[in-house]
Structure 1
């Protein structure tokens, strides 16, 4: 009798373990995360079809070791600016550093931010949201992946599963439902009073991402500000035209970055203004922290100090 009971318990444990490790099919994965991808499309302007196709491809439909153990569904590596959790995994090279997330939703949010905040992907946001082929080819051209057939893989997934339908518009009731169900738990992403765009908190400050057709005058009117305030808060001279996908603040920036962002490695396509916007720091203050004169540019690979002053040589 005891043997039978023990056998039954063992069988149940094996069955439970097997069930917990059951692999997603591509159809199941798409069904599970489609609404999250659409929610991110509304926030960022990245086609939901592209987000879903990339997630399917990079995570093996949510079954890869990186996605299961680290919730990293887009294969995003640490990079110099990453200050979050890390995991090491063999990819192009042995033991490469990848970002580790607390949830799948956090991975999707960071994927959108990763594309929005990186200048190399800025041209993609000028494409129509329904141009999934342009997005796929643009991602490959910008260096998102090393696989020479990356764009074709994304297009194939999108067309095989008709993911382009998610990019072609939704009813107001569907949008309201998705916004309600996918409101970030930490409250960092807020919807402005006019319900026209998301206001995202960066370094404790309210910021927005520039959309097609935006002007400083329009942004000032939208948020009840004076036009000169938008220029001043973002360290721009009067007459500057905002660029699609750049970050703008609707309140004065801080004198230093958040505690988790102490330094930044200066990349070849960086500018001091871009870094100031990314971390919510006043541009003049950023120059002073790094012992630079306004207009001076650090060497590629140099450390840019975001909180404390650069040590003297």
Structure 2
């Protein structure tokens, strides 16, 4: 019995010694399928209303956005205000012409010659010039070192030429009359020129700069129809003068002649006072 037990012990020992050892497997650490990666963070863009495109066509055809036009106004409004004070040209007209003639600063003449008002050389021009197709091929246009020189030359151009003299008899806040007067005096050949200027003035509230110089209250074009007129409820034939009113603006509002207003109200001159009641009919 002892021998059998001994033999059994020896056999088990031999089997244990020849048993295969478990292999050690070295694996390259990889991310599991469930691993969450952090990609490079993207900047969150704030949604901005789309700018409206429009084509400005004068000395060149230029596509701009309303933001570009607004920035142009901000950039040159101080020069326009200064020129209005010095030369008597409404700032609204200066800016509107600048927008139209220069393509809001993006037109070829503005970019290559700092010419913001499409002024041609003419016989008296002694400065630099560039050639540009306009009414005819390769016409001569004035070239300036900087935009401010163009704004000043525009003022001198209007104030020193007799054909524009009638403009300076108009009220400084009557941009519609100035726009039509420029076309009539021959500044542009485009029959829609006045409408284009008026459109820019009203869309971009350029009249506010005229009001700033004149010390009057600015009323945006959208509110013109709702402006408080304060006509007597008992008699619609009378109008109460508001701040900023002139005989000319009132005459245009009611389609009557300035002289008729003066005669009906026994006025010896064009002086008005706020709150004064004028007979219209």
Q: Specify the TM-score bucket, using the shorter chain as the normaliser.
A: 0.5 to 0.7
**What secondary structure sits across from 2:151 in the alignment?**
helix
Matched ranges for 1:48-87 at <5 A: 48-87=91-130
Matched ranges for 1:1-313 at <5 A: 25-170=68-213
> Can you list the C-alpha shifts for 1:211-251, whole angstroms capped at 9, x where unaligned?
xxxxxxxxxxxxxxxxxxxxxxxxxxxxxxxxxxxxxxxxx
Q: Which whole-Å CA distance do the structure 2 matches of 1:171 and 1:130 have between them?
A: 8
Q: Which whole-Å CA distance do the structure 1 matches of 2:213 and 2:87 have between them?
A: 16
Q: Which whole-Å CA distance do the structure 1 matches of 2:121 and 2:108 have between them?
A: 17
Q: Which whole-Å CA distance do the structure 2 matches of 1:153 and 1:146 have between them?
A: 13
Q: Which whole-Å CA distance do the structure 2 matches of 1:134 and 1:166 have between them?
A: 17
Deviation for aligned residue 1:171: 9.1
Q: Which whole-Å CA distance do the structure 2 matches of 1:165 and 1:126 have between them?
A: 21
Q: Which whole-Å CA distance do the structure 2 matches of 1:164 and 1:29 have between them?
A: 15
Report the TM-score when normalising by structure 2: 0.52
Q: Give the length in aligned residue pairs.
A: 151
Which segments of structure 1 move beyond 4 Å, counting only runs of 4 or more?
none
Larger of the two Rg values belongs to structure = 2
Report the TM-score when normalising by structure 1: 0.47
Q: Which whole-Å CA distance do the structure 1 matches of 2:133 and 2:80 have between them?
A: 27
Deviation for aligned residue 1:169: 3.0
Q: Which whole-Å CA distance do the structure 2 matches of 1:109 and 1:154 have between them?
A: 19
Q: Which whole-Å CA distance do the structure 2 matches of 1:162 and 1:149 have between them?
A: 20
Give unpaired runs (5+ residues) of structure 1: 1-21, 173-313
Q: 1:44 to 1:170 in 2, by over 3 A?
A: closer
> Can you list the C-alpha shifts for 1:184-236, whole angstroms capped at 9, x where unaligned?
xxxxxxxxxxxxxxxxxxxxxxxxxxxxxxxxxxxxxxxxxxxxxxxxxxxxx
- Is the contact made by 2:80 and 2:94 (CA closer than 8 Å) also made in structure 1? yes
Give unpaired runs (5+ residues) of structure 2: 1-63, 216-281
Q: Which whole-Å CA distance do the structure 2 matches of 1:42 and 1:160 have between them?
A: 23
**What secondary structure sits across from 1:169 in the alignment?**
helix
Deviation for aligned residue 1:122: 0.2
**What secondary structure sits across from 1:143 in the alignment?**
coil
**What secondary structure sits across from 1:98 in the alignment?**
strand
**What secondary structure sits across from 1:25 in the alignment?**
helix
**What secondary structure sits across from 2:212 in the alignment?**
coil
Deviation for aligned residue 1:168: 1.1
